[in-house]
């Protein structure tokens, strides 16, 4: 993997302060095997950086997504946080006053290169603390062979999706429409369909608004028109997780499901011909789309603002953002890399995901209560589409919990 320094973004060793400095970064693993673990990416990047900055050493520890947040928390609780952490949430640390504002770290051109919606999602109280790191949105994937056998076209509306699922079921497809509302990522699948109907987890001023009529209608549609009609396969949505749903798609057992770019690689590896289209809306184009980004943050404890900022300028240079995005099939978080990938033939398959990030809606990651509420959604939301489920009741209960948690922030 080529990792090239962009000299215009780099300052000399003197910019990091006097004497040698060692920076510690804890990062999540985006790889799916030993061959492409993120440790290899970071080792190559830090080697390149250290050659141009002989007074700086950057030690990187990479952990699985199951472990990385807990590892960082343990370090913070022990009073020894890393200089930088690339994880799934930042708001708790920002609210506790433990993070550097981004403006104290990055050069102006690098900070300005972040996509606007992502930068705003990294703000607490109007100040940006979270730096987006790798992004994706969701599109509706479909199995081209199964669609051809059922003589159907990719759906653009909710009613067309139901019609397509019925045709797939008639052909004996195991999962005409896979609906993963299990604990792995129920908060994402739920938000996809809420946004499709003009709802979401928060209102236009950022307050929780989970039990709105738009959200209730979206879940009632899933419950009555898809689950209740027997169109979501043999596994109850509350027990179906994203990972097995993706594996079933790659095995040719799923007609349709909402997926992120990783699914492209899984399908290709198994020889499944697939297509992807925008998630359907009630009457066509969804009213909003979901965007997802992970976060980089820098802790103040070590006092290495200049050294951290110079290194992160390098991390977010166009070349390095492109390298990471292409290696792990994720959308870039900067405008410069997005423009490059949007027009590059080698990135054609990823281009629709990049386009859909413009104006996307993100999780309310700037709320310290969001991890708690996300956990409740994962725990409770599958019950909404069960035979005796009540979307209005469950969403109302979660809204009450969210409002209480929000008032305590």
Question: Looking at residue 332, which CATH number applies to its domain?
Answer: 3.40.190.10
Which DSSP string corresponds to 171-229?
Answer: TT-SEEE----STTTHHHHHHHHHHHTT--SB-TTS-B-TT-HHHHHHHHHIIIIIITT
pTM of the model: 0.89
Q: Tell me, yes or no, whether 26 lies in a domain.
A: yes
For residue 76, the surrounding DSSP H or E stretch is helix 68-77
The pLDDT value given to residue 2: 37
DSSP 8-state symbol, 304? -
388 and 280 housed in the same domain:
yes
pLDDT in tens, 176-204: 999 999 999 999 999 999 999 999 999 99
How does residue 19 score in pLDDT terms, banded at 50, 70 and 90? low
Examine the pLDDT at 18 and tell me if it is beyond 90.
no
275 and 296 housed in the same domain:
no
279 and 149 housed in the same domain:
yes
Q: Tell me, yes or no, whether 68 lies in a domain.
A: yes
Q: How far from 61 is each of 29, 303, 322, CA to CA, in Å?
A: 10, 20, 22
Q: Tell me, yes or no, whether 155 lies in a domain.
A: yes
Q: For residue 397, what are the domain limits?
A: 139-288+369-407
50 and 109 housed in the same domain:
yes
Last residue of some domain: 331, 356, 381? Answer: 356
| Those residues with Cβ within 8 angstroms of residue 239's Cβ, 6 or more apart along the chain or in another chain | 182, 382
The pLDDT value given to residue 242: 94
Please provide residue 192's backbone torsions phi and psi, each rounded to the nearest 5 degrees: -55, -45
Give the three-class secondary structure for 83.
coil
pLDDT in tens, 222-244: 999 999 999 999 999 999 999 99
377 and 304 housed in the same domain:
no
The pLDDT value given to residue 233: 98
Give the three-class secondary structure for 78.
coil
187 and 297 housed in the same domain:
no
Closest alpha carbon to 168 in 84, 253, 94, 47: 253
Strand locations in 260-322 (E): 274-277, 291-298
Distance CA 9, CA 307 (A): 13
Widest Cα–Cα separation across the chain:
72
Sign of CA dihedral 246, 360, 69, 377: negative
How many separate domains does the chain show?
Answer: 2
Examine the pLDDT at 5 and tell me if it is beyond 90.
no
Q: Tell me, yes or no, whether 7 lies in a domain.
A: no
Closest alpha carbon to 64 in 115, 28, 93, 110: 28
Q: Tell me, yes or no, whether 283 lies in a domain.
A: yes
273-301 in b/e burial notation, b at 16+ Cβ within 10 A?
A: ebebebbbbbeeebbbbbbbbbbbbbbbe
77 and 28 housed in the same domain:
yes
Examine the pLDDT at 6 and tell me if it is beyond 80.
no
């Amino acid at each position: 993997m080529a990792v090239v320094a962009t000299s215009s973004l780099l300052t000399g060793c003197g910019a990091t302060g006097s004497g040698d400095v060692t920076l510690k970064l804890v990062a999540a693993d985006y790889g799916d095997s030993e061959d492409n673990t993120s440790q290899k990416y970071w080792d190559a990047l830090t080697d390149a950086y250290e050659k141009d900055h002989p007074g700086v050493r950057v030690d990187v520890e990479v952990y699985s997504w199951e472990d990385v947040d807990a590892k960082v928390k343990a370090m913070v609780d022990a009073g020894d946080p890393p200089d930088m952490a690339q994880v799934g949430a930042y708001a708790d640390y920002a609210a506790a006053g433990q993070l550097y504002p981004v403006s104290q770290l990055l050069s102006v051109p690098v900070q300005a290169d972040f996509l606007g919606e992502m930068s705003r999602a990294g703000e607490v109280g109007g100040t940006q603390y979270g730096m987006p790191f790798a992004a994706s949105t969701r599109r509706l994937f479909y199995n081209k062979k199964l669609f051809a056998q059922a003589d159907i076209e990719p759906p653009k509306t909710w009613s067309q999706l139901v019609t397509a699922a019925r045709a797939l079921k008639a052909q004996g497809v195991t999962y005409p429409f896979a609906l993963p509302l299990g604990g792995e990522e129920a908060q994402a699948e739920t938000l996809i369909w809420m946004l499709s109907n003009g709802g979401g987890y928060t209102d236009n001023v950022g307050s929780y608004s989970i039990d709105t009529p738009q959200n209730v209608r979206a879940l009632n549609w899933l419950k009555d028109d898809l689950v209740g009609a027997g169109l979501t396969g043999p596994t109850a949505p509350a027990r179906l997780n994203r990972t097995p749903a993706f594996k079933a798609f790659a095995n040719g057992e799923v007609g349709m499901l909402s997926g992120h770019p990783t699914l492209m690689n899984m399908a290709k590896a198994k020889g499944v011909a697939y297509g992807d289209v925008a998630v359907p809306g009630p009457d066509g184009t969804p009213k909003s789309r979901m965007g997802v980004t992970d976060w980089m943050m820098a802790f103040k404890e070590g006092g290495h603002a200049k050294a951290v900022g110079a290194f992160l300028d390098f991390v977010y240079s166009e070349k390095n953002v492109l390298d990471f995005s292409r290696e792990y099939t994720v959308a870039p978080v900067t405008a410069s890399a997005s423009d490059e990938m949007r027009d590059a033939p080698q990135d054609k398959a990823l281009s629709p995901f990049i386009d859909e990030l413009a104006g996307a809606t993100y999780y309310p990651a700037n709320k310290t209560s969001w991890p708690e509420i996300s956990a409740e959604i994962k725990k409770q939301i599958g019950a909404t589409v069960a035979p005796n489920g009540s979307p209005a009741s469950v969403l109302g209960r979660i809204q009450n919990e969210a409002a209480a948690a929000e008032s305590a922030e």
